[in-house]
Structure 1
Amino acid sequence: MPVLLIIDMQVGMTWPQADVRNNLDAEARIARLLDAWRRAGEPVVHVRHLSRTPGSPFWPGQPGAEFQPALAPRDDEHVVDKHVTDAFTHSGLERWLHARGLRELVVCGVSTNNSVEATARSAGNLGFCTRVVSDACFTFDQTDLRGVRHAAEEVHQMALANLQGEYASIVDTGAALALLS
């Protein structure tokens, strides 16, 4: 039974200062996955980033730290709070999954090259069968250390390439939904 792991789909990710992004339909695809998992009665885990940096939109208690209403967890869905990019670090997520015998993860959310990549790397290293849903993740434009700006889609594709094979399998929404069959 695959667990749907939704990463950092918080209100602050929708604010203009979040910068230029790719996959403008990612939230709709995540909502589609969430609905399918709920209808199938399969486990869903919502990951929430709570920043330790004062003034961050993700500072606890701030509106930006709240889940986006359309993707908010139900009372029976597990919520993991994290303070770093990786959802496994100091969160109890690994223990929660093992206690339930859950070994397959379907990962979606934001940012592809940040929390999604960090979490998928850890999941793969911990032995979980991990799939990252490429069209249900997104990221933002990035400037490299040379000062060269890279488009969000390029950053997204490179992050997925970093994961493919060694840490995770990269799938699209259709392939992720087929796992419920």
Structure 2
Amino acid sequence: MSETKKALILVDVQKAFEDKKWGERNNQEAEENMRKILQLWREKKWIVFHIQHTSDNPNSVFHMANKGFAIKEIVEPIEGEVIITKKVNSSFIGTNLEEQLKANEVSTVVITGLTTPHCVSTTARMSGNLGFDTYLISDATAAFGLKDQNNRYYDAETIHNVSLATLHGEFATIRTTEQLINSL
């Protein structure tokens, strides 16, 4: 990884994803890996962004009044870390994330969070398209199983791996937590 200014983006690491409605999930160690990366970022005093998904629907697990809106304690923000709320999959749409990255002269972005095929991949695509040197940490993200338009089920690990494959080399560089830490 280059010596440029770096930022860590933790996407939607919220209690909402503990709801049983999502079904089976892969990568049960994702949050622990996020914590390790966050700890390193804090030690180096690098920029950290916590992205929080919100919904206007009061019945949504992501509504601000519901317990699912909260960021998980394992990566709870501390003073000085930026919290950005969003209403769509991309952390860049309808937020000032791009402006904050540019104002801080960040050129390298490391992305972790939930879930790989949705907000994480959308944020990684946008980051790459905006010209940031983007890294997505494969074991610090996770997916849930999904059904396609023909009601065929794909398990969480398959969804996760296919999502990573669609990003690697075009929008982002895919690394593990260990690979990332060893490169810094």
User: TM-score, normalised on structure 2?
Assistant: 0.95
Structure 2 unaligned blocks of 5 or more: none
Alpha-carbon distance between aligned partners in 2 of 1:18 and 1:84, rounded to the nearest angstrom: 18
State the match for 2:10 in structure 1: 6
More displaced 10-residue stretch of structure 1: 80-89 or 61-70:
61-70
Task: Tell me what 2:33 maps to.
Answer: 29
Q: Does 1:133 align with 2:137?
A: yes
Pairwise CA RMSD: 1.0
Residue number among 156, 160, 176 corresponding to 2:180 in the alignment: 176
Asked if the contact 1:106/1:176 (under 8 Å) is kept, the reply is: no
1:2-81 aligned at under 5 Å gives the runs 2-81=6-85
Contact conserved, 1:49 with 1:81, CA < 8 A, in 2? Answer: yes
Contact map agreement 2:58 2:65 (CA 8 A) in 1: no
Q: For residue 81 of structure 1, what is the amino acid of its counterpart?
A: T
Deviation digits for residues 154-180 of structure 1 (CA, Å, limit 9, x no counterpart)? 000111011011100000001221343
Rounded Cα–Cα distance in structure 1 between residues aligned with 2:130 and 2:59: 33
Specify which of 129, 145, 151 is matched with residue 147 of structure 1.
151
**Percent sequence identity over aligned pairs:** 32
Tell me the distance in 1 between the aligned counterparts of 2:140 and 2:104: 25
- Cα deviation, 1:103-144, whole Å, max 9, x if unaligned, reads 111100110000000000000000000000001100100000
Structure 1: stretches of 5+ with no match in the other structure: none
Query: Number of residues paired by the alignment?
Result: 180
Q: Is the 8 A contact 1:50 1:58 kept in 2?
A: yes
1:69 & 1:164 partners in 2: Cα distance?
30
User: Given residue 24 of structure 1, which amino acid in structure 2 is its aligned partner?
Assistant: Q
Q: Is 1:101–2:105 an aligned residue pair? A: yes
AA of the residue aligned to 1:25: E
Deviates more, 1:80-89 or 1:67-76: 67-76
Query: Cα offset for 1:15?
Result: 2.3
Residue 110 of structure 1: aligned partner:
114
TM-score w.r.t. the length of structure 1 is 0.96
